[in-house]
Amino acid sequence: MHLPNGLEKNIIDLFRLDGRKALITGSAKGLGRMMAHALAEAGAEVVITSRTLAECEATAQVIQSASGRKTFAAAVDVTDEADVQKLKAIVSEHFGPIDILINNAGINIRGNIEDLSTADFEAVMNTNLKGTFLCSKFFGPEMAQRGWGRIINLGSILSVISMAGRTPYASSKAAVLGLTRTLAMEWATKGVTVNAICPGPFATDMNLQLLNDPQKYKAFVEKIPMGRWGELHEIAGAALFLASDASSYVTGTTLFVDGGWTAQ
């Protein structure tokens, strides 16, 4: 490719992550695992985290065997500031500085507001929003000091639309977009981009309640212009783009991977 300044660059190389180190929260399974695998296939070394160390170790082993890239497993409760600080110390000592952070850990508690407890609301907000804040707070500044970094926050279609029975989840995911835009402004001149991915319905453990209910599943499919749920591998391209040099002029924005749902 011929660039205006006369330099030549292979576009495909922009998507390579060789020499980069990535940490993905909630990556022992589901979308997090798929994104971790995609980054490793592109050349990154990856840290797999969740609350359960055994699950992290199993996933890390699979990804390392498949990609040939170094992996590291660590358990963390992203809602606990001391635990996130401990994670940072362990990763720094045994793995090295993080270049790419994907804040994927999340939970959902469904129910009408009169049936939800304050504890239910706080649990979802703490994991989905506070966890994203804490991990960004402790890993982001080092990226800014080194002059390069990528932070990707997982929002949802419910960041911008909503439905009954989703008060905690929709509130937390809407707030994640506000956090994303603010951090993008804070680090815009530091070489760190901060963006969000907002998935639509994917067949993950979080959605088993819907997947196992034929009527609810059908109701969801009817709202998706592409007429189907997302397959796990379909999150990989979005994550790789936002984690790489291919997105070097993209920050503070949101990429919807939802089969067209929010385009309506």
| Residues with a known catalytic role | 169
Q: Which helix (H) or strand (E) holds 153?
A: strand 149-154
Helix then strand then coil, in percent of the chain rounded to 5, is 50, 15, 35
* Integer Cα distance of 122 and 17 in angstroms: 36
Contact 137, 57 (CB under 8 A): no
Phi, psi values for residue 62, rounded to 5°: -65, -45
Task: Please name the amino acid found at residue 79.
Answer: T
Contact 98, 142 (CB under 8 A): yes
> CB under 8 Å to 67, separation ≥6 — which residues?
37, 40, 41
Contact 142, 91 (CB under 8 A): no
Partners of 22 in the β-ladder: 46, 100
Strands laid side by side in the 71-75 sheet: 71-75, 45-50, 21-24, 100-103, 149-154, 192-199, 254-257
